[in-house]
């Protein structure tokens, strides 16, 4: 990424008044899409929430309404909906692997602003 773009991202990331993700440009396009954090990669995935008492609280599919403006969640095939429990298990396993590789505390969240300003590497 060109240094000028990195500087611009870092300035937005450290600004006191942030109304949107600092990685988004003026048109709302992600400037770090190719190397976006895992939380961004999993955002918007249709999630199946299973409740302990299915007859009281039935399974529910939750989505980001910005990602599903033209498709009903009722029409999604089951294979296109990720189970929340499975997603959390996969994310936890990735976190352990990444933290072990980079000497970080497991479960530590690295703010996007820190990545943009300090250049914390994910590779």
Q: What is the DSSP letter of 53?
A: S
pLDDT digits (tens, 9 = 90+) for 16-72: 666 778 888 888 888 888 887 766 777 777 888 877 776 676 777 887 766 777 888
Find the mean pLDDT for residues 1-20: 79
Check pLDDT > 80 for residue 115: no
Question: What is residue 36's predicted lDDT score, i.e. its pLDDT?
Answer: 79
What whole-number distance in Å separates Cα of residue 62 and Cα of residue 102?
33
Whether residue 122 is predicted with pLDDT greater than 70 in this model: the reply is: no
Check residue 120 and give its pLDDT. 46
Percent of the chain with pLDDT over 70: 85
- Nearby residues of 61 by Cβ (< 8 Å), 6 or more positions away: 46, 47, 48, 49, 73, 74, 76, 81
pLDDT at 114 exceeding the cut of 50 = yes
What's residue 97's pLDDT? Answer: 92
Q: Read off the pLDDT of each residue in 6-19 and give the average, rounded to a whole number.
A: 79
Task: List the 47-49 sheet strands across, edge first.
Answer: 60-62, 47-49, 82-83
Mean pLDDT, the chain, integer: 78
Question: Can you give the residue ranges of every domain in the chain?
Answer: 3-118
| 101-119 average pLDDT score | 77
- pLDDT at residue 93 in the model: 92
- The model scores a pTM over 0.85: no
């Amino acid at each position: 990424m060109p240094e000028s773009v990195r500087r611009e991202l870092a300035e937005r990331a450290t600004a006191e008044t942030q109304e949107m993700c600092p990685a988004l440009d003026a048109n709302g396009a992600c400037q770090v899409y190719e190397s976006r954090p895992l939380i961004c990669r999993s955002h918007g995935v249709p999630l199946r929430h299973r409740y302990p008492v299915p007859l009281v609280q039935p399974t529910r599919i939750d989505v980001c309404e910005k990602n599903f403006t033209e498709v009903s969640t009722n029409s999604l095939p089951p294979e296109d909906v990720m189970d929340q429990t499975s997603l959390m298990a996969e994310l936890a396993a990735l976190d352990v692997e990444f933290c072990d590789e980079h000497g970080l505390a497991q479960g530590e969240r690295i703010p996007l602003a820190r990545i943009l300003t300090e250049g914390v590497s994910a590779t």
